[in-house]
Amino acid sequence: METNPEIPQHIGDNLTKQQILENSYPDIVNRIIKNSKIFGSEINTFGMVFEDIAVQERILTRHETEMQTGGRHIIEKSFRNAKKIIGLLHPPSTPDFVSVIFDPNGQLIIDEVVDMKSSYKAMQKKEGQPQNTINVMADIVDIINQIIERKDVEEIEPRDPSAPKFHEERIKLLKEIKNEIVELSITSKIEFSDNLKYVVVLPDGEEKPSKFQEQIAKDITLDGRTVKKEIVHSQFSKRDIHKIIDHYAETP
């Protein structure tokens, strides 16, 4: 396994792609190492590596401030631990990325909820995912805002009272989030943009069949208003991803 982010030759002189790969390198290598021990994990590895690359690609194009990055990290930490944070018996549907901007008054606003899909078939497996993801994000933001408003984390009730075994871990996570909020001096509640978009990112060249378009066209709502939908393509194709995995999986 390589120990430095050598750029695969097929990427060429594309500086943007090179930067994205350099930023993604640690995560990509970790995925390959972990999944190499699991039989039949090729598809899983591909999807995870595409997600890592697409997330870094999204970050590179957003030009975040330190406050935006910090706010996004708090939100991402929360939805990655959504089962415990919300207090659920089963893992909920969560996004891969959120975009955080400022409104004119300096308030943090979520303007995009993003899912990375390695193919249209991956999206079809969970037809209700877009709406479920938005619902979970609303729950996450509500809990974060309770912390911002200085509510004692011990008093933030879990959604499902029958999930007590995670209580100590949940409180620990909520306290960590509280500390991060204090460090960033976030005092105003996080809101969703009036122009909130649910975005699906596909590999470059991946077609958007009509059935997939129909599914993404289903109404997604938040607090009674319709959430805009958008399907976009990464700069990286499936061929790129496979070559990247092969390149970094080679034994010296």
The Cα–Cα gap between 98 and 104 comes to 20
In the predicted model, is pLDDT for residue 14 greater than 60? yes
DSSP state of 84: I
* For residues 205-216, average pLDDT: 65
User: What ranges do the domains of the chain cover?
Assistant: 66-235
Average per-residue pLDDT for the chain: 85
For position 213, what pLDDT does the model report? Answer: 56
Contact assessment for residue 244 and residue 49, using Cβ atoms and an 8 Å cutoff = yes
The residue among 35 and 1 whose pLDDT is bigger is: 35
For position 30, what pLDDT does the model report? Answer: 84
For position 109, what pLDDT does the model report? Answer: 95
As a whole-number percent, the residues of the chain with pLDDT over 90 amount to 51
- Per residue in 86-112, pLDDT (tens digit) is 999 888 999 999 999 988 888 899 999
Contact assessment for residue 50 and residue 234, using Cβ atoms and an 8 Å cutoff = yes
The Cα–Cα gap between 252 and 83 comes to 40
Amino acid residing at 132: N
Residue 16: both structure tokens together: 């943007």
For position 127, what pLDDT does the model report? Answer: 66
For position 1, what pLDDT does the model report? Answer: 42
For position 44, what pLDDT does the model report? Answer: 74
- Per residue in 153-200, pLDDT (tens digit) is 999 988 887 766 678 889 999 999 999 999 999 999 999 999 999 999
Q: What is the CA radius of gyration of the chain?
A: 19
**3-state DSSP percent of the chain in helix, strand and coil, to 5:** 55, 15, 30
CA angle in degrees (0–180, nearest 5) for 214-127-142:
110
